[in-house]
Amino acid sequence: MTNTNNPEPLRDKRIHTPEFKMQVVLESFQKNTTIEEICRRYDLAQSVVHKWRKIFRDKGSSIFIGESVHKKKWPAGQSPDELKRIIGSVTVENEILKKA
């Protein structure tokens, strides 16, 4: 039975990889972009991005469970901006490799 009251067709549910979700979440935390831009770029609903961000904030620290506090630390001279730059370049390299 077709719903004639709703002129828009329902969108098929898409499955996204954990890597894609992480990429979107990390981009959403960057200061130079907005969630609206990310949603347009990846054709996502804002509610989806907000949900992924909440999951990341709630459970993100669980990836560090079991790590020793004595493991290698970041050099004291690296600022958060330097680390963000490194993350950005690694993300770009990752995208290039995916397309190769």
Domain ranges in the chain are 15-58
Structure confidence by residue, pLDDT tens digits, 65-76: 776 555 556 566
Of the listed ranges 19-23, 35-39, 52-56, 75-79, the one predicted with least confidence: 75-79
Rounded CA separation 27/6 (Å): 34
Those residues whose C-beta lies under 8 Å from the C-beta of residue 50, and which sit 6 or more positions away, are 35
Rounded CA-CA distance 51/48 in Å is 5
Please state, in angstroms and as integers, the Cα–Cα distance from residue 12 to each residue in 1, 9, 15, 23, 94, following that order.
17, 9, 10, 22, 28
| 83: confidence class by pLDDT, cuts 50, 70, 90 | confident
DSSP 53-78: HHHHHHHGGGGGTT--TTSPPPPTT-
Pair of tokens at residue 22:
């992480």
Residues 21-44 have pLDDT tens digits of 999 999 999 999 999 999 999 999
